[in-house]
Amino acid sequence: MKSDVVVTITINMKFVICFFAVEDLVSATICENDKVIIRCVIGGRIRVVSASYGRHDRATCSHPSIGTTSCHSANSLTIVQSRCDTKTSCELHASNGIFGDPCPGTFKYLEVKFQCIQPIEVTICENHRKTLSCSCGGKINVLEASYGRHDRHTCPHPSIRTTNCHAASSISMVKSKCNNKSSCNLFASNSVFGDPCYGTYKYLKVVYHCI
C-alpha cells in the first residue's frame, strides 16, 4: 500500500486538497456552505467511491444546530461523480442548493471518499495492433483517444505532411470497443477510424484507467 502525502492550501476561503498516492482510499469532509478543491497530482485521475451530504454524527463539523444524526441526500454520489470522476481536480460546494436539504434545521456536511488512479497511456502506430487490459477484475475506462498525428517524434516515418491531424470518431470508437471490458484489441487503421490526413503516417494514442 502506498502512503499519502497531503498538501492543504487555503486560497480565497477555498481549500485545495492534493493527494499524491494513486491507490489508497482518501477522504475529504466539507462543512455546509464551504467549498473545497480536490486534486490528484502526478497525472492521477479522480475516482469517487462514495459521497454523502447530510449528517451522521455530532463531532464532524460541530454546530449548535443539529436536529438529527441520521441524514443523507440520496443524490450525493451521482452529483459528486458527475463533477469529479476522471478529472485531475474538481471543486465541490457543500450546499442545499446543489444537493437539496435532506434535514431542514440541521447543519450538514459533505463527506467524499475517492481514489487517485494513475492513467495508462498506449500508442499504436498505423497498421499495428495492441491490446489494452486491466488485471485483478478491473474494467477499462477510456479517458482520451486520438487517431491522427500531433508531433513528429511519435511513430517516426518519412511520410509526415502535418502534425495537426485528428479523427473525430476516435474517442467514440475506442470507448465502444473497450469500455467496461477487462481487455480489448485495437487496430490503428484508416479502415477503422477513417483517414483524417491523407499522405501522413498516423498513430492511435489512448489514455485509460482501470476501475
pTM: 0.67
- Torsion 144-145-150-152 (CA) sign: positive
Average pLDDT per block of 10 residues along the chain, 211 residues long? 36 45 76 94 86 98 97 98 94 98 98 91 98 90 96 98 98 97 98 98 95 80
Chain CA centroid to CA 30, Å: 20
SS3 91: strand
Distance CA 175, CA 144 (A): 9
In the beta sheet, which residues pair with residue 122? 206
Q: What is the pLDDT of residue 45?
A: 87
Across 85-139, the runs of DSSP E, i.e. the strands, are 89-93, 109-117, 120-125, 129-133
Cα–Cα distance for residue pair 107/61, rounded to 1 Å? 8
Rounded CA-CA distance 168/209 in Å is 21
Res 23: pLDDT? 56
DSSP 187-198: E--HHHH--SST
* pLDDT value for 16: 53
Contact by Cβ (8 Å): 39, 87? no
What's the grid cell of residue 156? Answer: 517516426
Q: What per-residue confidence (pLDDT) applies to 10? A: 35
